[in-house]
Amino acid sequence: MTTEIEWRRRWKPDLSSCPWQPIEVDGIKYLIKFKFTENSYEILITDLVHFWYEELEDMALRKRIQKLNPSIEASLTRILDQIRGSVEYPERETTLSVGFKSADDDDEPEKIMLKITSQLAGMPFVWNFIANVADSAMVSENLVIPMMGMVCELTRRQKELIKVIENKDKEIDDYKCQGVKASRKHIETKPFVETAFENEMLMSKMFESSVKSLGSTAFDEAGQDLYRQIMTKYAWINRSPTKKEDNSDDFEDDSLGDVAERKGSSGPSWGTSRLPPSIAGPKSVSPDKVRPKTSPAKSPKSSASNTPEGSPVKDSEYLRRQALERRLEQEEMKKHEKTKKKKKIAF
């Protein structure tokens, strides 16, 4: 069974797991999220009314680069880094502008074009994101579900914090009963009352400014990190293990002897089914083959002398080999158990 830590190491985040980032263009606030790879990108833009999406891959990406920046010669990875940096961390020389292309029979924007003007190695660099209207499923996966998850988690954390504060009040009361006093008057606090705290928050000026800002403050650095953690956990909960993943997990958990057996190794081994060459001779043999077989061509006397049962010396040698083999098996199993434990606790 795959653990969450092992799954996180192999998991490749998709666009829904990338956090939103607030940007302001021409006095209008937008939320934008994106996922870049070595030769492609996905981008989702919203003004909290409409959603636009674009995905551009290798060849189409190269064509647009050639069209917009014919004089620039750089690797695809370098250009994608430039595009991402211009959106994520725009510099002074970077400018953003937004344009719309409306449908002929509808006032609603059909496409949005986010134009970026920046500099790459001292030369002007231009890029246009041209995004179509996103479908409702994408809106749900990238905003509705994550935001509901964030609200639930923040509510849970608030309740836990209230418990911590109430316990702190009890601890302070206990100190006061023992005659302990604060060294400075201004650091004393009043007992926490949840209802009074909630009313105070609703009447504060920060509550009004928080409502006005909406999405722009929901995705600050802390909000982005919470979004990322929520969606990573959501992907883990809703994962669908593949056969390949299950097989790889079994392979990692198996002992070394089992791995060698699956590979059909014919070389000398100290696995559980083999003896060391110093004991087994030039070629390792199983315990059943150690005992010589009685040949029908020989006389009964000769046969009796050649079997382990017929000779006390050979009996003791055979038993010694069996005992040594069992000891080697036990030692090997202990080594394998230690290896498994290290794998389980390794992060």
Higher pLDDT, 110 or 232: 232
pLDDT given at position 318: 67
| Average predicted confidence (pLDDT) for the chain | 77
Q: Are 290 and 318 in contact (CB under 8 A)?
A: yes
pLDDT digits (tens, 9 = 90+) for 149-169: 999 999 999 999 999 999 999
What is the rounded average pLDDT of the residues 223-249? 77
Q: Is the pLDDT of residue 118 over 50?
A: yes
Q: Are 63 and 72 in contact (CB under 8 A)?
A: no
Q: 194-203 and 205-213 helices cross at what angle (nearest 10)?
A: 60
pTM above 0.75?
A: no
| Percentage of residues in the chain having pLDDT higher than 90 | 41
Task: Categorise residue 326: left if φ over 0, alpha if ψ from -120 to 50, beta otherwise.
Answer: alpha
Q: Is the pLDDT of residue 40 over 70?
A: yes
pLDDT digits (tens, 9 = 90+) for 62-110: 999 999 998 888 889 999 999 999 888 887 788 999 988 775 556 666 8
Domains in the chain (CATH in brackets) are 13-135 (2.170.210.10), 139-198+211-237 (no CATH), 246-345 (no CATH)
**Residue tagged 């690797």 (tokens):** 75
Task: Return the sign of the alpha-carbon dihedral for residues 199, 203, 206, 212.
Answer: positive
Burial of residue 21, with CB atoms counted within 10 A of its CB: 0-12 exposed, 13-18 middle, 19 or more buried: middle
**Least confident residue range of 100-114, 142-156, 172-186, 250-264:** 250-264
Higher pLDDT, 228 or 331: 228
Q: 258: closest CA among 277, 245, 274, 271?
A: 271
pLDDT given at position 116: 92
Q: Is the pLDDT of residue 197 over 70?
A: yes
How far apart are the two ends of the chain, measured CA to CA in Å? 16
pLDDT digits (tens, 9 = 90+) for 263-293: 344 333 333 444 444 444 444 444 444 444 4
Q: Are 22 and 29 in contact (CB under 8 A)?
A: yes
Query: Predicted confidence band at 337 (pLDDT cuts at 50, 70, 90)?
Result: low
pLDDT given at position 216: 67
